[in-house]
Structure 1
Amino acid sequence: MMSANTISERDLFQSVITIPSMDTLGSRIAHFRKLKGISQAGLAKACGWGSQSRIGNYEKDTREPSLDDLELMAKALGISVADLIGTARAPGERLQNVEMALQPSREPRTYPVISWVAAGQRADSPDNFAPGVAEDWLPSTENAGPHGYWLIVKGPSMTSPTPPSFPDGTPILIKPEGFDLVSGKFYIARHRDGETTFKQYIYDAGREYLMPLNTKFDPVEMDDAWDIIGRVIDAKQPRGTL
């Protein structure tokens, strides 16, 4: 018989071993990140974000990720969004710190594939591209608006060994109107000298940058000579990839 002040083997085990909670979205992000064997900084880089603080805030449940951010993290971790938000819950039970809205299904819509020169011209006059003139049209379920269009990525500046990556030949869908400017997202920018480029937009300490994903290329600090003329909202694998 054990005395009143004797610690049982089970009590000792429970006092030493702490089983991590998976009750919150943040705890699941941390769990899958550690299973993947990457740091917060590594996950942030894989998602195309300039700072690991966003991952830290998500894991501490002090900030709620958007659906776009959930999709980026899930892709980087090699899991599904359902794994991140937790599907093993009672019917009707709400997640502690994120509520996923049911997204209505959308029928695919086709948009023209145009040249980079034409993209710069459309920024001045969105209606100057007559339907039927494009050499190719590609479908998307994303809503790029009445003047949406596809561009084909040229060169290696947006290629990365970790996702997201946009290698040469990747079709990207551009929404030229009604978009928000969000640090970490991808945009088309035009310089007053006529150059049009595809880069990641970064806002840091009051400064704006156009960031390549390929570390062999230098970032460009934006000034008054640059205009953001569209946001990238969809991408497809380059033809011939599969």
Structure 2
Amino acid sequence: MDIYQSRIATLKALISDLTLKEFADRHDLDASYLSQILNGHRNMGERAAANLEKKLSLLPGTLTAPAIGGGPSPGDAAFSATAQLEIASSSAVADALGRYNQQRMLPVIGEVQAGEFCEAVDNFQPGHADEWIESGGPAGPRAFVLVVNGFSMYPTLAPGEKVVFDPDMQWAPGNIVLAKRLSDQSVTIKKLCRDGNEYFLHATNPDWPEKYIKLNEEWMVCARARRKIVEL
């Protein structure tokens, strides 16, 4: 694996499960240009790699020098130069993925959109959101941010706060979830709880009049909350 292949491997890892167009739109890049690089029709030289690092908000060296990192020392005779490069490149890919996961941009959607999102989450496109913010940590490929509206979860969640929801994350009693009522497509944020074999959506606000909603065939859990986005 030479330096160009290492750069391409790192870029592919950053793109992950996104389509090339989704990745390009999210970072204001030219999808055809990325395609040429990934298909080997254009080399990712040092200048091109440095420009992509800036566009993706990566640390210098992530793409320009992906072979720099952990692994055996150059003087270790037990490893060939090729093996050293591949091991170091794997380490660089892991580091790049960690940084990218923290910096990944997620769409901020409203309540009406959230109902539609539960219907066709795979078809949600960057143009459907007016605002994008950093995920602040790990998030699945279909994760999104929802703005809290109402006081049913106060003080756990206050109106106006932004919460990362992940449709691909397994949910269980005790988790805060986004649920949709099938009859009118309305959505609600509640804490999931269980009593025997029955599940309920719990409003944690002690003064909320309807504290429990039985989770039956009328309701569908769309996503699990991962974290709040705190902006200062």
TM-score (norm 2): 0.53
Matching residue of 2:178: 188
The answer as to 2:204 corresponding to 1:219 is no
Q: How does 1:4-43 map to 2 (within 5 A)?
A: none
Counterparts of 2:113 and 2:128, CA distance in 1: 12
Structure 1 residue aligned with 2:151, among 138, 147, 156?
A: 156
Q: What's the counterpart of residue 126 of structure 2?
A: 131
> Any conservation in 2 of the 1:140–1:234 contact (CA below 8 Å)?
no
Alpha-carbon shift at residue 137 of structure 1 (Å): 0.9
Asked whether the equivalents of residues 144 and 176 of structure 1 are also in contact (C-alpha less than 8 Å), the reply is: no
SS at match of 1:155: coil
Compute the displacement of 1:214 (Å).
Answer: 0.3
Which is helix-richer, 1 or 2?
2
Extract unaligned runs of 5+ from structure 1.
1-103
| Partner amino acid, structure 1, of 2:125 | A
1:229 corresponding residue in structure 2: 222
**Counterpart code for 1:117:** V
Provide the C-alpha distance between the structure 1 equivalents of 2:151 and 2:228, rounded to a whole number of angstroms: 16
- 8 Å contact from structure 1 (residues 186, 200) kept in 2: yes
Tell me if structure 1 keeps the 8 A contact 2:102–2:137: no
Matched residue, 1:168: 159
Identify the residue that residue 119 of structure 1 maps to in structure 2.
114
Aligned length: 131
Identity of counterpart residues, as a percentage? Answer: 27
In 2, the alpha carbon distance for the partners of 1:181 and 1:134 equals 25
- Which amino acid in structure 1 is aligned with residue 181 of structure 2? H
Provide the rounded CA distance (Å) in 1 between the counterparts of 2:141 and 2:117: 12
When residues 171 and 124 of structure 1 are mapped into structure 2, their CA distance, relative to the original with a 3 A threshold, is same
Root mean square deviation of aligned Cα: 1.8
The runs of 5 or more residues in structure 2 that have no matched partner are 1-97
Paired residue for 2:61? none
Deviation at 1:144, TM superposition (A): 2.4
